[in-house]
Amino acid sequence: MSMIRTVIVDDSAFARKAVREMLSASPHIDVVGLARNGHDALEMVETLKPDVVTCDLLMPELDGASFVRMQMARRPVPILILTASPQDAERVLEALDAGAVDFVQKPTALANDQLLVIREELIEKVKAAGRAPVRTLSPKLEPPTIIFRPARTALKVDIVVLGVSTGGPQALRYLLPQLAADFPVPLVMVLHMPPGYTAIFAQKLAEISLLRVKEAFEGCPVQPGEALLAPAGRHLSFQRTPDGRVTVKLSIEPFKKPHRPSVDVLFQSAAEVYGARVLGVVLTGMGDDGRQGAAWIKAQGGTMLTESEDSCIIYGMPRSVVEAGLSDASMPLASMAQEISKRL
C-alpha cells in the first residue's frame, strides 16, 4: 500500500498535535501539512495536493462544512470531518452533503480510555478515504423527480432491509426520495453512525422523502410505507407477536460485532422472521458487515442487491457480498430505487 499523504486542519494546536500523533502510528500515513483554518487549508491543499484531508468541523473564519464546499468546487479530494460532539450533528450532515467522505469523533484528551479506539477508527477511515475514487466524491446530485412504484401485481417481498456505511448519508438522501409514499412493504435500514446522530438524520430524511422515515424504537411496528433507521448503539432485529404483527427489538447484544447496529444482525433476523420474502440491499461502505447476513437471506431463498463499484464512495461492503457469490444483481446508485421497486 502506498503512503497516504494527509493534511490536518484544526484551529486547536492541541487537536492538531493529537491527530498527528494518532495518524503517525500508521506506517501507511504521511502527515504532510498542518493548517489552522479553512482558508489556510485551501491554499495548502492546492500546494501539497494531499490524498486525504482531516478537517475540524467548528473553526473561525471558514468552518469545516464551508471548507468542504469550497474545496470540492476547486478540486475534489477525500475529506474526513472531525467533530467533538453529537450536538453538532446538523453541521456534520451539512459537511457530508457538501462532499465529505465520513466523520470521526475527535478525542478530548491525549490520554484516555477511548484514545486507542479512536486512533484505530481514524487510521482505518483515513486509509479508506485514500482509496475513494475521486469521481464519487462530489456532492450527490439531487434525486430525480421520478418516483418509482412497484407494478400492481402480487408482491414477492414482505420487507426490504438495507445496510450502508461510509457514504451512507449521501446515498440514502439520494435513494429514499425516489420511493413512493404507498411503498407496499416496510424498509428497515442500518447505517454505521456513532450515538447521537441517527435520530436527527432520520428527521432530515423524513423532510425530503414521501415515505414516513423515523428512528426505530423498542416495540416499533414494522409496516408498509415506513422507513425505519436503526438507532446508533443498538442492534435491530424483528419479533413476531402472537397476533402475527412484526415489531422491532433493540439490543446491545451480540457484543462481538464490530458495529452496533450491525447489518449482519438485521439481515439474519429478517431472514428468520420473513423467510424467502426478504429483499436485502447493501450500499457503499468499508468492511464486510452484511456479508454473513446476506448468506442468511440467500439460504432462506431471499434476494440480494448490491451497489456497483462505479458509484460507491467505498466499495467494501458490497464487494464482500459480491465476492462471496451472494449478490443477485449489482447496479449503480442511480438505478437502485428502480431495481428495488421492480423486485418487489
SS3 for 208? helix
How many angstroms separate the CA atoms of 327 and 280, rounded? 9
C-beta atoms surrounding 184 within 10 Å: 15
Q: Rounded to the nearest 5°, which phi and psi values hold at 302?
A: -80, -175
Active-site pick, 259, 289, 320, 341: 289
Is 28 marked active-site? no
Is 310 marked active-site? no
How many angstroms separate the CA atoms of 127 and 52, rounded? 9
Strand-pairing partners, residue 102, are: 80
Active-site pick, 11, 26, 165, 269: 165
Q: What is the DSSP secondary-structure string of 242-310?
A: TTS-EEEEEES--TTSSSSS-HHHHHHHHHHHHTT-EEEEE-SBSS-TTHHHHHHHHHTT-EEEEE-GG
Is 30 marked active-site? no
CA separation, residue 342 to residues 149, 183, 282, 316 (Å): 8, 12, 17, 25
Contacts of 27 by beta carbon, 8 Å cutoff, 6+ apart: none
Active-site pick, 192, 237, 327, 341: 192
Q: Annotated catalytic sites, by residue?
A: 165, 192, 289
